[in-house]
Structure 1
Amino acid sequence: MKNIYLDHAATTPVAQKVIKAMKPFYQADFANPASAHLPGQKSAAAIEDAREIIADFLGAEKAEEIIFTAGGTEADNLALKGVAMAKAEEGKHIITSQIEHHAVLKSCEYLEKHFDFEITYLSVDENGLVDPEELKAQIREDTILISIMYANNEIGSIQPIKELVEIAQTNEILFHTDAVQIPGQFKLDVKNLGVDLLSISAHKFNGPKGVGALFVKKGIELVPQMSGGSQERKRRAGTVNLAAVVGMGKAATITASNLENKKEKLLALREYFISELLTNFKDVKLNGPEAELRLPANINIAFKNFNSESLLFNLSLNKIAAAAGSACASGSLNVSHVLEAIGLEKDYAQGSIRFSLGQNNTKAEIDYVIKTLKEITTRLESL
C-alpha cells in the first residue's frame, strides 16, 4: 500500500495547475508589485486579479475588502488585534469561544496581558457547539468584537454563524469568524453570513503555504499590526508574496469549480469511515457532532484506554498519516483544549485521533486503515 494521507485539515497538496500558475512569477514576472516601472505594474495587476478572484470566492462586494496575509494565523491576529486597538476607546470586552484556534486564543491572551482587555470564553456543548443564548447573556455595553470560528479544525463542529451574527448585529457589535476549514467543503458567502471579518488560508484548499486572506467589510477600521510600507492599502506592510497570491487565486478558482462533486465524495467517504470504525472497534466514541453539523472531511475518533501518540506512531510505521488534533499544537503532550471543552472523559481523550479526508482518498484506503488499526490495537492491548 502506498502512503495514505489523512491529515488534510492540517494542510493539503498544492494542485498541479496552481504550481503552473505560480511558476512565471518566480523568474519571468518577478518584479516587486510596489515598483512604479512596467514590470512592477504587471506584478501589481496580477495581485489585483487574484484579489478579485478571492473577493468573488468569498462573496464580497468589493475586491478592496480583501487583505492578503501570510496565512490564517496572521489573518486572525490582524482581525482581533486590529479591531481591538481601533475600538479600544469604545470598549475593551471581546467574546470568543473555548475551542478557537490558537491564533485567536493567543491573540486574546495578548490583548488581556498588554492592553487590559477582558475576554469572555463561551463554553460549548458535548458536540462543540456554542449556545446562542449564552452569547446573548455575555454581551456587555463595552463589548466591541465577537470572534467565533465557523468550523472547528479538530472535531469538525460547524457553528450556527448566521444566527450568532444576527445577535451581534442586533447589539451593534463587530463579528469575526475563522473560516480556515471551510473552503473546499462549503461555499463561503460573507454577504449572506453577515460577518464583518473572515479569515482563510490557501494551503487548506490546495493552494501554497504562506498566504492567506482577511475579508474586512468596507468601512471597518483596523490598526495595522506590521509597521513598514503602504502595501495592502496601508493595512498590511511588507512586500506581497506575489507568486503565492497568484497561486491562491488559482486554487480558489479550481475549488469553486469542483466544490459540489468534492463535497459529495467526502461525505460518502466520511460516513463509510465512521461506520467502519464504530462497527469494528469496541469502546470508541465519535468526537463532535453527527452528520450535517460536522465538516464533510472530518472524523475524530476516541479509543478508550489507548494513547494517541502510540496509535499515531504505529499508523505512521504503516504509511498512514493522521493527527491527534491541531497541527499547530503538535508536540504538546496535554489533552487538546477542544476535547477538554466538550467534556470528553480522560480515558477517551488521551486516545483521540483525527482523520481528515481529501478528494483523492479512496474506500480501499479506508479499508486498509481499519485493518491496520485492528492489528495495532490488538497488539497494544497484549503488551
Structure 2
Amino acid sequence: MNDMIYLDYAATTPLDPRVRDAMLPWLDAETHFGNPASDHALGRRARAAVEQARAQVAQLIGAGADEIVWTSGATEANNLAIKGALEFRGLKGAHVVTSRVEHKAVLDTCRYLETQGTRVTYLTPQADGIVGVEQVLAALQPDTALVSLMWVNNETGAINPVEALAPRLRERGILFHVDAVQAVGKLPVDLARVPIDLLSLSAHKLYGPKGIGALFVRKRPRARLAPQIHGGGHEQGMRSGTLATQQIVGLGEACRIAAGALVEEGERLRGLRERLWQQLQALPKIHLNGPADRRAPGILNVSFAGAEGESLRAMLPQLMVSSGSACSSATREPSYVLRALGRDDELAGSSLRLSLGRYTSEAQIDRAAAEIIAAVRFLRELSPLWSES
C-alpha cells in the first residue's frame, strides 16, 4: 500500500486518527455501551456524548443543535428530506425541481416519487456544470413544493449558487433542500445566514466513519417532515432507531476538526489541485470538466482525448482514482454527469476524477501527474485514430 497514491477523496476519506480515538471509548464493553435513550447512568452518559456531537455538527454549519437529525448517511438524509417534505404536506401530485447531475440518492428518489404522481423537472446545467439561479426560477410552477440542488457536484466540483438561490425560494414559500456532502467541511457553510430549509451531510466525506450522517431541518420557519423510518419516535419523531453512539461521536469530532482547519486546508488543496492541472496541461487535447473558478478546492476532473478510459485506468494501478461517482462506477458506463455537460460517450469515458484531501502531498501530486502523462502518451501512440492536429 505504501506505493499507492490515494486520489479518490470525493468517494470516501480515510478515518482521521483523532476521530478514531474519540470513538474508541464508546466501544468499551464495560463503561460506555449504554443506550442514549435509557434513563440511567450509562444511558445518560451516552446521551451527553450524542448531544455534544450534535452541537459540534451544528457549529460547523451555523445551525442550532436542535436542528440536527441523525441518519445512517447522506442517502438516507436525502430520502428523508425529499420524501418526508412532500408526504408531510400530502402533496402527492406536487412539482419538484432538481438537476440532471445530482447524486443518485436524489435522482433515484425523485424517480420513485414520479411513480407516485409527483412531477419532476430535471434541469440541465450550463456548459461549466453549474445550475444557475435563473434556470431554477424559470422552472418553477404554481405548485412547486420543493427544489433539491447539490451545493458541490461530486464529479466536477462545480459550486452551485445555492446561497443566492435560497432567499429567492424563501420569498416564494418553496422548500429548499441541499445535498451538501461535498461542501460541508470543505467550504464555509453558514445556515444562520443562508435560508436553506433542509441540508444533508455525511461523515465519511470529512474523515469520519461510514454509516452515519445528518439532516439539518430548519426550526424557524419550521420545515416539517413525515418520517421514513417508524418505531419509537426518536430524533423528534423524524427518524426512529437506536442511536449509534460511537458513530455519532465520530461525526462530531470530524466536524470539530474540520471547523478548525477549513480556510487553511482549502487554500492548501486549491494549490495542490492547480499544481496537478498545470502539469497535466503538458498533454494536448485534454478537457477540464467543470468551471475554471467556481469549483471545490479538492476536485479536478479531466478528459483525455485519444485515451480509452478503461485502458487508461488499467495503466494506473498505483493511483486510486475514479471515472466519476463511486455510486455509479460499477455500471462501466460513461458518467451521466459529464454527458449532461455535453461530453460525448468517448470523451466522458476517458475522464479521470482526481480528488485530493487531507493527506495528499506535493510529492504525490508530481508522481501522479507523471504517471498519467506517460499512460496517456502510450495509449495515444497505440491508437491509429489519434492525431494532435
Q: TM exceeds 0.5?
A: yes
- Alignment-derived partner of residue 101 in structure 1: 103
Residue by residue, what CA displacement relative to the aligned partner does 1:42-93 show, whole Å, maximum 9, x if unpaired? Answer: 1111111111111111101x21110011111111111001001112348611
1:282 corresponds, among 273, 281, 284, to: 284
Aligned partners of 1:131 and 1:382: how far apart in 2? 40
What SS does the corresponding residue of 1:120 show, helix, strand or coil?
strand
- Alignment-derived partner of residue 387 in structure 2: none
Residue by residue, what CA displacement relative to the aligned partner does 1:293-327 show, whole Å, maximum 9, x if unpaired? Answer: 011001000011322222222212xx110000001
What are the ranges of 5 or more consecutive residues in structure 2 without an aligned counterpart? 383-389
- Alignment-derived partner of residue 77 in structure 2: 75
Within 5 Å, which residues of 2 pair with 1:21-60? 21-27=22-28, 28-60=31-63
- Alignment-derived partner of residue 4 in structure 1: 5
- Alignment-derived partner of residue 141 in structure 1: 142
What SS does the corresponding residue of 1:31 show, helix, strand or coil?
coil
Aligned partners of 1:40 and 1:184: how far apart in 2? 30
Matched, 1:241 2:244: yes
The AA in structure 1 aligned to 2:286 is: V
What SS does the corresponding residue of 1:193 show, helix, strand or coil?
coil
Aligned partners of 1:69 and 1:90: how far apart in 2? 24
Shift of 1:144: 0.6
Alpha carbons 2:92, 2:118 under 8 Å: kept: no
Q: Taking structure 2 as the reference length, what is the TM-score of the superposition?
A: 0.94
Aligned partners of 2:262 and 2:136: how far apart in 1? 32
Within 5 Å, which residues of 2 pair with 1:247-262? 247-262=250-265
What SS does the corresponding residue of 1:148 show, helix, strand or coil?
strand
Aligned partners of 1:120 and 1:39: how far apart in 2? 49
Within 5 Å, which residues of 2 pair with 1:267-278? 267-278=270-281
Aligned partners of 2:150 and 2:177: how far apart in 1? 8
Shift of 1:330: 1.6
Matched, 1:264 2:263: no
Alpha carbons 2:13, 2:206 under 8 Å: kept: yes
Aligned partners of 1:125 and 1:147: how far apart in 2? 17
Within 5 Å, which residues of 2 pair with 1:178-327? 178-218=179-219, 219-278=222-281, 280-291=282-293, 293-316=294-317, 319-327=318-326
Residue by residue, what CA displacement relative to the aligned partner does 1:226-249 show, whole Å, maximum 9, x if unpaired? Answer: 121121111111111110100110
Aligned partners of 1:126 and 1:301: how far apart in 2? 14
Aligned partners of 1:89 and 1:297: how far apart in 2? 39
What SS does the corresponding residue of 1:331 show, helix, strand or coil?
helix
Alpha carbons 2:62, 2:191 under 8 Å: kept: yes
The AA in structure 1 aligned to 2:178 is: T
Aligned partners of 2:106 and 2:284: how far apart in 1? 36
Shift of 1:141: 1.4
The AA in structure 2 aligned to 1:337 is: Y
What SS does the corresponding residue of 2:52 show, helix, strand or coil?
helix
Alpha carbons 2:92, 2:117 under 8 Å: kept: no
- Alignment-derived partner of residue 127 in structure 1: 128
Aligned partners of 1:133 and 1:188: how far apart in 2? 22
Aligned partners of 1:15 and 1:7: how far apart in 2? 16
The AA in structure 2 aligned to 1:378 is: R
What SS does the corresponding residue of 1:258 show, helix, strand or coil?
helix
Amino-acid identity (%): 41
Aligned partners of 2:311 and 2:300: how far apart in 1? 19
Shift of 1:261: 1.3
The AA in structure 1 aligned to 2:363 is: A
Aligned partners of 1:88 and 1:230: how far apart in 2? 20
The AA in structure 1 aligned to 2:184 is: P
Residue by residue, what CA displacement relative to the aligned partner does 1:106-136 show, whole Å, maximum 9, x if unpaired? Answer: 11011111x2100011111111111222222
Aligned CA-pair RMSD: 1.4
Aligned partners of 2:254 and 2:381: how far apart in 1? 47
What SS does the corresponding residue of 1:324 show, helix, strand or coil?
coil
Residue by residue, what CA displacement relative to the aligned partner does 1:193-213 show, whole Å, maximum 9, x if unpaired? Answer: 210000110111111111011
The AA in structure 2 aligned to 1:230 is: G
Alpha carbons 2:280, 2:373 under 8 Å: kept: no
1:64 corresponds, among 63, 66, 79, to: 66
Aligned partners of 2:184 and 2:92: how far apart in 1? 34
Alpha carbons 1:184, 1:262 under 8 Å: kept: no
Within 5 Å, which residues of 2 pair with 1:149-160? 149-160=150-161
Alpha carbons 2:308, 2:379 under 8 Å: kept: no
Alpha carbons 2:155, 2:353 under 8 Å: kept: yes
What SS does the corresponding residue of 2:121 show, helix, strand or coil?
strand
- Alignment-derived partner of residue 368 in structure 2: 369
- Alignment-derived partner of residue 340 in structure 2: 341
What SS does the corresponding residue of 2:109 show, helix, strand or coil?
helix
Aligned partners of 1:93 and 1:364: how far apart in 2? 50
